Amino acid sequence: MVAAGAGAGPEGPQTMTGGLLVTGTTSDAGKSILTAGICRWLHREGVRVAPFKAQNMSNNSVVVVGPDGRGGEIGRAQAMQAQACGLPPDLRFNPVLLKPGSDRSSQVVLLGEAVDTVTAGNYRQLRPKLAQVAWDTLADLRGDYDAVICEGAGSPAEINLRDGDFVNMGLARRFGLPSIVVGDIDRGGVFAAFFGTLALLSAEDQALVAGFVTNKFRGDLGILRPGNDMITALTGRPVLGVLPFHPDVWLDAEDSLAYGTTLGRPGPPRGREWLRVAVIRLPRISNATDAEALAAEPGVRVHLTVEPGDVADADLVMLPGSKATVSDLDWLRRTGLADAVLAHAAAGKPLVGVCGGFQMLAGTIDDEVESGHGVVPGLGLLPVGVTFAARKTLAHSAGTALGASVHGYEIHHGYVSTGTPEPFLHYAGGQPEGAVAGNVYGTHWHGAFESDEFRRRFLTVAAAQAGRHGFTVAPDTRYATIRERALDVLGDLVAEHLDTAALRRLVEKGPPPGLPFVPPGAP
């Protein structure tokens, strides 16, 4: 695919291979899944395609191990999009990752490595460096692939952020990329959102916006069609398609808030009873996706919650990862959730902590790195002390647990510094990892529950400890197959419901000339 590379403006467009920018009317409008769907469709069409997100703000990340053996981080959504392309994750797919540790500060991960902490005050000083890295990385990718499908961030119409933007229209202007705008009709007001997004862009930015995509539609398309015709007449840009709501599109969410309360679409139990899992939605929850493999099991209802009553009603409780372990532990105590977790464990019911959640279960936490609070008491449910190191552990891990093989990945500053507990897992070399104390389990490994046999054995033990003797684990759930099937669903939705001929023209030839300006434009 060879693009014309049309475009103009001070950002300096370049003529390169094919590309497209997927922007949205809001956060969680469907940018990540639409990007993945377009990637899967192009991959099945035989196109050498790769994903790209210049800057992601998310605490859901995965570890990429480079040729030198060093680990780095990218957003989990970009790893999912890479899989849609038939590619392993690559640090270039998400060169800038911001991991919020509070409402005011974020850790900056640049090409996989944590390099700084920024606030709203000093981000402007760092932004030119981040932009240059993102531009150089995209230029490199475009030399290696026929097409690069880029995902924007938030909305391109955030007029307070347009100056210096390198993720949305700033990226499009730099490379002459055509852009499409996706909106979530489930929220209502999608036509106003389409029009307003376009009308708040400058004439130069508008010249690259080539169409709209409606996401999560339910109902009779005939009722929607007049609106599509009117927005096209008002803007001079087509609605390139309407994606229907699909219940199987829920894996690898960019933000835990996208899940709602019940995770996934739980299938009926294989035995007489359900297993009810409560996952505490921490303020700075990270890698909430660890619970998705549990939710893929028939008869397992996974509920994300901030209510102590939900913890009291649960059979199994998960404390997930956190980007702010000490702060989120304090929140647990202030909200009464810590007391509910302690009561759950005291009742002999199973409790599992993953990464930051594991650290919260320790006797003490010594943190001069992330929070700077020094030594603070943990929940005291596991006989270990945790200390935070300045350098982050980033690794793929493999080993065994409960007599089954386990694979996972590690992203953490904290490590077990005191105590010799019974280990939960063992590394392939035999070294112990994590801790077990009766019905309480902890591990630093993300993704461990994606290992099918280990997950089945753990759920069997957890059900017994919870007294759910009528629960029977399914013997045939294959999580990797479920994830691959979800990507195929996304590719099918694009192929069946979007104007793929128009999409291909955009990717190959760039934005069409003569797109009209819609006033008032940027302030």
Q: What CATH number corresponds to the domain at position 63? A: 3.40.50.300
Q: In angstroms, rounded to a whole number, what is the distance separating the alpha carbons of residues 383 and 435?
A: 8
The verdict on residue 13 lying in a domain is no
Q: In angstroms, rounded to a whole number, what is the distance separating the alpha carbons of residues 400 and 454?
A: 8
Same domain, 385 and 495: no
Q: Is 446 a catalytic residue?
A: yes
Same domain, 89 and 213: yes
**pLDDT at position 17:** 59
Give the DSSP H or E segment for 201: none
Contact partners, residue 137, CB within 8 Å, separation at least 6: 52, 54, 92, 95, 111
Q: In angstroms, rounded to a whole number, what is the distance separating the alpha carbons of residues 319 and 442?
A: 9
Same domain, 86 and 186: yes
**pLDDT at position 1:** 36
Tell me the β-bridge partners of 117: 107
Q: DSSP readout, 261-314? A: SB-S-PPPPSSSS-EEEEEE--TTEE-GGGGHHHHTSTTEEEEEE--HHHHHH-
**pLDDT at position 70:** 83
The verdict on residue 6 lying in a domain is no
The verdict on residue 259 lying in a domain is no
Q: How far is CA 190 from the centre of its chain?
A: 24
Marked catalytic residue, from 355, 412, 444, 497: 355
**pLDDT at position 15:** 37
Same domain, 467 and 498: no
CATH number at residue 292: 3.40.50.880
Q: Is 303 a catalytic residue?
A: no
* Start-to-end C-alpha separation, the chain: 36
Marked catalytic residue, from 43, 412, 446, 497: 446
| Tokens encoding 102 | 């509070």
Same domain, 162 and 289: no
The verdict on residue 134 lying in a domain is yes
Residue-number span of the structural domain to which 468 is assigned: 271-473
Q: In angstroms, rounded to a whole number, what is the distance separating the alpha carbons of residues 8 and 205?
A: 9
Same domain, 240 and 389: no
Q: In angstroms, rounded to a whole number, what is the distance separating the alpha carbons of residues 261 and 258?
A: 9
Same domain, 131 and 163: yes
The verdict on residue 193 lying in a domain is yes
Q: Are 229 and 257 in contact (CB under 8 A)?
A: no
**Please, what is the Cα angle at 360 between 359 and 365, to 5 degrees?**
70
Say if residue 520 is preceded by a cis peptide, omega within 30 of 0.
Answer: yes
Same domain, 161 and 279: no
Q: How many structural domains comprise the chain? A: 2
Q: In angstroms, rounded to a whole number, what is the distance separating the alpha carbons of residues 160 and 144?
A: 34
Q: DSSP readout, 476-520? A: ---HHHHHHHHHHHHHHHHHHHB-HHHHHHHHHH-SPTTPPP-SS
pLDDT tens string for the chain (523 positions)? Answer: 333 333 333 455 443 359 999 999 999 899 999 999 999 999 999 999 999 999 999 888 999 987 777 889 999 999 999 999 999 999 999 999 999 887 788 999 999 998 988 887 788 889 999 999 999 999 999 999 999 999 999 999 999 999 999 999 999 999 999 999 999 999 899 999 999 999 999 999 999 999 999 999 998 999 999 999 999 999 999 999 999 998 877 766 655 444 447 888 888 999 999 999 999 999 999 998 899 999 999 999 999 999 999 999 999 999 999 999 999 999 999 999 999 999 999 999 999 999 999 999 999 999 999 889 999 999 999 999 999 999 999 999 999 999 999 999 999 999 999 999 999 999 999 999 999 999 999 999 999 999 999 999 999 999 999 999 999 999 999 999 999 999 999 999 999 999 999 999 999 999 999 999 999 999 9
Q: In angstroms, rounded to a whole number, what is the distance separating the alpha carbons of residues 33 and 368?
A: 38
The verdict on residue 14 lying in a domain is no
- Full-prediction pTM beyond 0.85? yes
**pLDDT at position 253:** 65
Q: Which amino acid is at 229?
A: D
Same domain, 107 and 187: yes
Q: How many CB atoms lie within 10 A of CB 207?
A: 25
**pLDDT at position 8:** 37
Same domain, 299 and 153: no
Same domain, 466 and 335: yes
Alpha helices in 145-189 (DSSP H): 169-175
Q: What is the CA radius of gyration of the chain?
A: 23
- For tokens 């943190």, what's the residue? 367
The verdict on residue 504 lying in a domain is yes
